Structure 1
Amino acid sequence: MQTNAILPFALFFAALFSPATLAQETTLQVGVVQRFGDEPTDVLTLSSSPGGALTLTFLDGTGQPQTLTTNNVKLEISAQPQREPVLQEWIVLSDRATFETAEATAQEWQKKGIEVEITQPGRWQVWAKRDVYTTPLLRRLLLGNLKAQGETEPYLQTQLLPAKPKVSFVLGGYRYNRDEIEIRAGNNAIRVGEGNPPQKSYLYGGSLKIQPNAYGNFTLVNRVPVETYLRGVVPHEIGASSPYASIEAQAILARTYALRNLRRFKADNYQLCATVHCQVYRGLSGTAAATDRAIANTQGQVLTYNGELIDALYSANSGGVTAPFTDIWDGAERPYLQGKIDSPQPPWDLSAQSLSDETAFRRFIALKEGFNGNSGNAFRWDKSRTLEELTDDLNRYLQRIKHPFGTVNRILKLEVTARSPSGRILTLTVQTDKGAIELQKTEARSAFEPPRSTLFYLDPIIGADRTLKGYRFIGGGFGHGVGMSQYGSYNLANLGWTSRKILAFYYPETQLEPLSESIIFYRSDGERTKE
């Protein structure tokens, strides 16, 4: 994990570059297929565009570079038997729903003198760093020491592999088995299909590399200039038919978010993913004239606060009130991410009527007019779930996080026991036959199916026999609610607001400026606290 105050991202730049050129020259590494080989039947089909050809480069058996040319290639998984089983082992220190909270947890472990890395085998996890705790003895000594200090969350993940997977393909009648393969196309356009036959396919600019990850399988990484990357993000995050000022605002946020978050997959040797855990990215598939124009018109523009790229967080719909950073994640507060009524003419005074009060919160959720985004179908919602369904939800969650309870037989009660001034649930207490479980912040969404955000309250469903049968989840918004509401931005754009004004509304005290080598991409919470 990076701990120095200024990351070495300035290496991307040269002083003579203009801001537009800086943006064009910055290359991202995006994991577009993150778990290739998770199933032994996984198949990827790569093909060139008409008139082009693929060039595959890899090391041969003697360690020398070898190059092959083809129009298409099918990548499969080949299990290579080992004389002795291969030990794959690591210590999981913490398991969290989001990268942001995992990163804050990682910094706490570091304060205790533990070297760590952040991974995402499913949920986000903090591991004891593998290249520090390199032997079974060291790992067991560390785990024993942590248990002796009263730590209950860490555990050892161990498996013996009788065979090691390799990426396999056939060209010229010969089968190749390799760990890493670089794939380029003369016209910088490669189509990737997943499945056999392909169930979906996307066209990617730049180049591709298949490489090992931290979990014993492989990642297909797209190396792509940031402005080309944005062409595959903006239409899928905001929609090409959105009001134009909203699209411009989204382009600036997507650029800022990507450049700030290059550390997310350091443990896997790439930078970003292509899913909602980062930003949805589909390469050159689905590009549109409106979004391309917004990207070009904002080229190189980013949002900063005190000379650092901001945490450019955004969600689909705030439900009428945005949330501060710490309502959703652990870590230091971001002054520019504030809890405020999402409206140019607020129908609710948040300073006079805090939404931490349950009665006030229910009155707020009953309001359906006067907010940005109130025309969206996720602005208000009401979902019911039986106790049996909720128990199934909870047990799946407990098994994912390896909770000491294992599974429970039944839920006795759900109760919101802490709520923030912006209305977000801070603690949801679940009473079960095995005891109480406290779900903090976004874990309330991870544990149960109904919530579309943490902006909700619970109403018990009582049967004719006067016993508890389930709960109604009544709330608003879709997503975490921090930063810009995409549906909210539509309303502001339709009112004639510019992208600059929209961004100033959702991220007060920030600066919109051209990308330059003087901008800090990321400063850790620990360094921020020292200041």
Structure 2
Amino acid sequence: MKAPQVSVGILFEPKIEFTLHIPYLINGIVVEGKQSVLFQQGQIAWNNVLYDELLFIPTNTDTGSFELEDVTIGINFHWERKENQKFRGSLRIIVEDDKLTAINILPVEEYLTSVISSEMSANASLELLKAHAVISRSWLLAQIQKNKDLKSGKEQYSNQQINTDDEYIVWYDKEDHVNFDVCADDHCQRYQGITKASTSLVQQAVHQTEGEILTYNGRICDARFSKCCGGVLEEFNTCWEESSHPYLAKKRDSIDNENIPNLKVENLAVKWIKGSPEAFCNTTDKKILSQVLNNYDQETTDFYRWKTEYTQKELADLIYKNTQLDFGEIINLTPISRGVSGRLIKLKIEGTKRSRIIGKELEIRRVLSSSHLYSSAFIIEKEDIQNNIPQKFTFKGAGWGHGVGLCQIGAAVMGEKGFKYDSILLYYYINANIEKHY
């Protein structure tokens, strides 16, 4: 098989400005330099002509690149910002939701070189980079295959939302994208084109694992990963649809992977989160952390165990802003159900005016933060209670991200301990296989 192409949604704005660094072809015409497109009358206005879509193809695929202005990175996260970004390959512009969408089309292996440099420090160990190349390739190809299966009717997707006065349960996944394979932000995989300089080590990692993927029972693994599991790997259905992936299952992030408390039980989850149990990802070693955390990620220093505090007004205002529902003063936040890592699946918000259960994990993190809480594996402590109304809430939590699949910080520690990339992969993806796909 030949390495496939991937289409990546980069920018979503009414106006998009970009620069073509070499001559590009569009409709048989050669163009170069600064360009500007505008959403107008349901179409794309470019050079005073309206189009349904535009496709710019480099005349030289080895040297062709373009730069997009004001690309938002870290969407809805604490370090959200805009920057100009450069990309190789083709540029497609389409209309979506009364805006324009800029899509980068390029070979999978070239995409992976950027993803590894964007998701990880380019100075990470070779074994860690090779492991990440395999999981990023596997995840991407699994999503592309899933989209094909959904379109052909071979696979059904369960995106049932519960939305009643008493309960709101929703999850967010890749299927949000219908006009391209993946987006460029953390919702999918962090991709910043050639803005993030790759090193020879990253290129070596991608080249040495070219075409390698994880499989389970003959299917490409949906190889999820997160920054820090907090000590125990979570199951797939805690975070997304109610389907089972045996390779994404409960496991201790430790050589001692047998000793796992039942973190679905509230008092055991409280004890676990309040403690600091040994785990691969329980590290403060800056050399190791710098392999996984880019500069803006290093703005976060506590993630294995973390703490966030809110006043009554701060929390009530936050919940109102994120739900558009007036709960009044917040009386209690009650855990309803947890996953195997202690992550909350359902949480009940009780206020003086109304109560409602929310879930799954990302919705809980979204509602209770101005960006996203680091994870939904947290406990709540109430303080300064006046007339049964707490005046202060302290959240104590574990981990960063959903905790499913490979734990990036845990894997970095394993790499430093001498584990090879295949051992790291088969540790986190239980009973999976590594196969050459192309």
- Same fold by TM-score greater than 0.5: yes
- State the partner residue of 2:45: 168
Q: How many residues align?
A: 378
Say if 2:369 is the partner of 1:396.
no
1:192: how far off?
Answer: 2.0
Give the counterpart letter for 2:206 in structure 1. I
State how far apart, in whole Å, the 1-side matches of 2:436 and 2:343 are. 34
1:467: how far off?
Answer: 4.4
State how far apart, in whole Å, the 1-side matches of 2:95 and 2:105 are. 16
- State the partner residue of 1:359: 267
Q: 1:338 aligns with which of 233, 242, 249?
A: 249
Stretches of structure 1 that go unaligned for 5 or more consecutive residues are 1-16, 58-66, 80-163, 400-405, 517-531
Say if 2:206 is the partner of 1:281.
no
1:177: how far off?
Answer: 2.6
- State the partner residue of 2:37: 76
Give the 3-state SS of the residue equivalent to 1:393 in structure 2. Answer: helix
- State the partner residue of 2:24: 54
Decide whether the 8 Å contact of 2:326 with 2:354 is kept in 1.
no
Task: Indicate the structure (1 or 2) with the bigger Cα radius of gyration.
Answer: 1
Give the 3-state SS of the residue equivalent to 2:106 in structure 1. Answer: strand
Give the counterpart letter for 1:472 in structure 2. T
Decide whether the 8 Å contact of 1:246 with 1:489 is kept in 2.
yes
1:451: how far off?
Answer: 2.6
1:505: how far off?
Answer: 0.7
Larger displacement relative to structure 2 (242-251 or 175-184): 175-184
RMSD: 2.2
Matches within 5 A, 1:144-159: none
Say if 2:13 is the partner of 1:36.
yes
State how far apart, in whole Å, the 1-side matches of 2:218 and 2:312 are. 50
State how far apart, in whole Å, the 2-side matches of 1:276 and 1:322 are. 19
Give the 3-state SS of the residue equivalent to 1:232 in structure 2. Answer: helix
1:410: how far off?
Answer: 2.6
Give the 3-state SS of the residue equivalent to 1:53 in structure 2. Answer: strand
1:217: how far off?
Answer: 2.1
Give the counterpart letter for 1:177 in structure 2. L
Matches within 5 A, 1:131-146: none
Decide whether the 8 Å contact of 1:345 with 1:370 is kept in 2.
no
Change in 2 beyond 3 A, CA 1:436/1:512: same
Decide whether the 8 Å contact of 1:75 with 1:169 is kept in 2.
yes
- State the partner residue of 1:381: 306
TM-score, normalised relative to structure 2: 0.81
State how far apart, in whole Å, the 2-side matches of 1:243 and 1:509 are. 24
Decide whether the 8 Å contact of 1:265 with 1:271 is kept in 2.
no
Decide whether the 8 Å contact of 1:54 with 1:72 is kept in 2.
no
- 1:235-275 Cα offsets, whole Å, 9 max, x none, are 11122122221111100000011111122468642211111
Q: 2:18 aligns with which of 42, 45, 65?
A: 45
- State the partner residue of 1:445: 365
Decide whether the 8 Å contact of 1:45 with 1:192 is kept in 2.
yes
Decide whether the 8 Å contact of 1:451 with 1:473 is kept in 2.
no
Give the counterpart letter for 1:206 in structure 2. G
- State the partner residue of 1:103: none
State how far apart, in whole Å, the 2-side matches of 1:461 and 1:266 are. 40
- State the partner residue of 1:314: 225
Decide whether the 8 Å contact of 1:373 with 1:487 is kept in 2.
yes
Name the % identity.
25
Decide whether the 8 Å contact of 1:78 with 1:177 is kept in 2.
no
- State the partner residue of 1:462: 384
State how far apart, in whole Å, the 2-side matches of 1:267 and 1:358 are. 36
Change in 2 beyond 3 A, CA 1:492/1:78: closer
Decide whether the 8 Å contact of 2:38 with 2:100 is kept in 1.
no
Give the counterpart letter for 1:180 in structure 2. E
- State the partner residue of 2:94: 211
Give the 3-state SS of the residue equivalent to 1:71 in structure 2. Answer: strand
- 1:443-473 Cα offsets, whole Å, 9 max, x none, are 2112111731111111112258874113111
TM-score, normalised relative to structure 1: 0.67
State how far apart, in whole Å, the 2-side matches of 1:433 and 1:467 are. 9
1:431: how far off?
Answer: 0.8
Matches within 5 A, 1:52-201: 52-57=22-27, 67-77=28-38, 79=40, 164-170=41-47, 175-188=48-61, 189-195=64-70, 200-201=83-84
- State the partner residue of 1:473: 395
Give the counterpart letter for 2:54 in structure 1. I
Give the counterpart letter for 1:54 in structure 2. Y
Give the counterpart letter for 1:190 in structure 2. S
Say if 2:425 is the partner of 1:514.
no
Larger displacement relative to structure 2 (199-208 or 317-326): 199-208
State how far apart, in whole Å, the 1-side matches of 2:204 and 2:214 are. 19
- State the partner residue of 1:326: 237
Say if 2:408 is the partner of 1:486.
yes
